[in-house]
Amino acid sequence: MRSVPWWILFSSLCAPVLLVGGWAISAELHGPGYDPASATISILASDGSRGYWVMTSALLALGTCHVVTACGLRPAALAGRVALAGGGLSAMMLALFPAPSSGGSFAHGVVVAVGFSLLAVWPVMAVRRDVPGRWAPPGRRPAGGTRAAVPPWGLRAGPSVTAAALMWLGGAWFLLALFVLDTAGAAERVITFAQSFWPLVVVLSCVRTAGRPG
């Protein structure tokens, strides 16, 4: 039984690949003056950057992938799917509000904060206590042999809360690195990769659960 369409497996797989590929190519185009450990990804997509078009295209594609994944992730709760799509739209909006080549930008900062928050809460909001028609181990079936409904691993409370908590801790690390440690680039890369990778984990858990025998 197929619980998710094949195309969200493709979109969720492309998201982290596009993100990492985008910042790697943009950094190469930017030149040796760019330090990925201390400089943020936003610099690569800022006005005047040599890799602007690459990083901006990657962010647009990343956002599109999240929106597509949210549309097809039917086993997830609707609130979580909306939050994931909102995070994708925020990534796309960064193309409209790029960071300036020097100094800060309030609009850019707001979009980044909203996007991070949505992608950090969607795992919890997507949790499902039951998923109709899903396979359950014999020991968890009710008396009489009726098939019980068990959510995929990626949509259970434990893994979802853990993933969200780690993302919020990563956000705290980024703020500390931004103002104190001078490792904002490294922190941001870890956080953004984790947020782009978790949808793939959820999708794979849905595919695996759907492939079990009844």
Q: What is the pLDDT of residues 44-81, one digit of tens each?
A: 988 778 888 999 999 999 999 999 999 999 999 999 99
Given a cut of 70, whether residue 21 has pLDDT beyond it is: yes
Query: Residue 33: what pLDDT?
Result: 84
Cα 106 to Cα 99, 109, 110, 185, distances in angstroms: 9, 5, 6, 19
**Residue 97: what residue type?**
F
Task: Count other Cβ atoms within 10 Å, centred on residue 126.
Answer: 27
Question: Which residue, among 212, 161, 200, has the nearest Cα to 62 in the 3D structure?
Answer: 200
Q: What's the pLDDT tens digit per position in 140-176?
A: 444 444 454 678 999 999 999 999 999 999 999 999 9
List the one residue out of 203, 163, 201, 160 whose CA is nearest residue 69. Answer: 203
Q: pLDDT confidence of 1, banded at 50, 70, 90? A: very low
Tens-place pLDDT, residues 65-124:
999 999 999 999 999 999 999 999 999 999 888 888 666 688 888 999 999 999 999 999
Residue 214 half-sphere exposure toward CB, CA atoms < 13 A: 11
User: Is residue 130 very low, low, confident or very high in pLDDT (cuts 50, 70, 90)?
Assistant: low
pLDDT of residue 2: 54
Domain boundaries, the chain: 6-125+147-208
DSSP class of 212: S
How does DSSP classify residue 139?
G
pTM reported for the whole predicted model: 0.87
